[in-house]
Structure 1
Amino acid sequence: MIGRLQCTVLDCPDVLELARFYQGLLGGEVNRPDPRWSVDSAWATLHLGDGHVLCFQRADPYRPPAWPDPARPQQFHLDVGVPDLARAREQVLALGAEPLDDGDPARGWHVYADPAGHPFCLVRQ
């Protein structure tokens, strides 16, 4: 092993907005003091209960992915396990997510975009 994953960083136009969106989705603590990072208007963190850290870095100008357009690919996405897809759909839409597919209830997953346009999936557990 060469190293350990320290965090996952998402580019976005508004770091606090996106940190709070993912806090609503995954829980955790926004901008918890941590000697590895200093937070400011260009950098925010979300420490999750399981030890993972999501970080948010301001990009200006920001150009979001356009899933499924290969000219502006998603490059990566998060899969979030949920017990009830219909309930989770209502909750992420209330947080500001945008649906990116038809949400076919027969499928075990649905695709959304966070407020900065990053695709993520809700996956039935």
Structure 2
Amino acid sequence: MAVAELGVVVLDCPDPRALAGFYAEVLGGSVEGEGDWVDLRLPGGQMLAFQAAPGFVPPKWPAPDHSQQFHLDLNVGDLDAAEKSVLELGAKPLDVEDRSRGFRVYADPAGHPFCLCAA
């Protein structure tokens, strides 16, 4: 029997509304809230939240002395089309050199690593 149920994944960032907007464009859903806490309600009922973090320092990838701490794996049907879209939305490539793998690594506009994964 589980002790708890996952409520929401929360990403620290300098601008919660802007980062929620980025992920809304990538994943769909609706952005709710203003200020220091903003929610993104995703299709299917999942939710991501974004919290203002004064002095936010983005993780570095890959860097064993500056752990990424966590990352999101986002499943896509077409890696090339998804890559084009996330780059247009402001993502930055971190590791996309090896095109033979089934995933590519990016940073969102606040610097959090995420992967586009072939579904």
Q: TM-score, normalised by structure 2?
A: 0.95
Structure 1 residue aligned with 2:103: 109
Alignment of 1:22-101 (within 5 A): 22-31=23-32, 39-101=33-95
1: distance between equivalents of 2:69 and 2:63?
A: 11
Q: What's the offset of the Cα at 1:40?
A: 3.3
Question: Letter of the aligned partner of 1:41 in structure 2?
Answer: G
Q: What's the offset of the Cα at 1:107?
A: 1.0
Aligned residues: CA RMSD: 0.9
The runs of at least 4 consecutive aligned structure 1 residues that moved more than 6 Å come to none
- Stretches of structure 1 that go unaligned for 5 or more consecutive residues are 32-38
1: distance between equivalents of 2:88 and 2:98?
A: 19
2: distance between equivalents of 1:108 and 1:78?
A: 15
Do the aligned partners of residues 85 and 103 (structure 1) sit closer, same or farther apart at CA in structure 2, a change above 3 Å counting? farther
Question: Letter of the aligned partner of 2:114 in structure 1?
Answer: F
Do the aligned partners of residues 41 and 82 (structure 1) sit closer, same or farther apart at CA in structure 2, a change above 3 Å counting? same
2: distance between equivalents of 1:103 and 1:21?
A: 23
1: distance between equivalents of 2:103 and 2:57?
A: 26
Q: TM-score, normalised by structure 1?
A: 0.91
- Stretches of structure 2 that go unaligned for 5 or more consecutive residues are none
2:17–2:34 contact (8 Å) kept in structure 1:
no
Q: Deviations over 1:49-71 (max 9, x none)?
A: 11111000000100000111122
1:45–1:56 contact (8 Å) kept in structure 2:
yes
2: distance between equivalents of 1:83 and 1:40?
A: 32
Q: What's the offset of the Cα at 1:16?
A: 0.6
Q: What's the offset of the Cα at 1:14?
A: 0.3
Q: Aligned with 2:49: secondary structure? A: strand
Structure 2 residue aligned with 1:21: 22
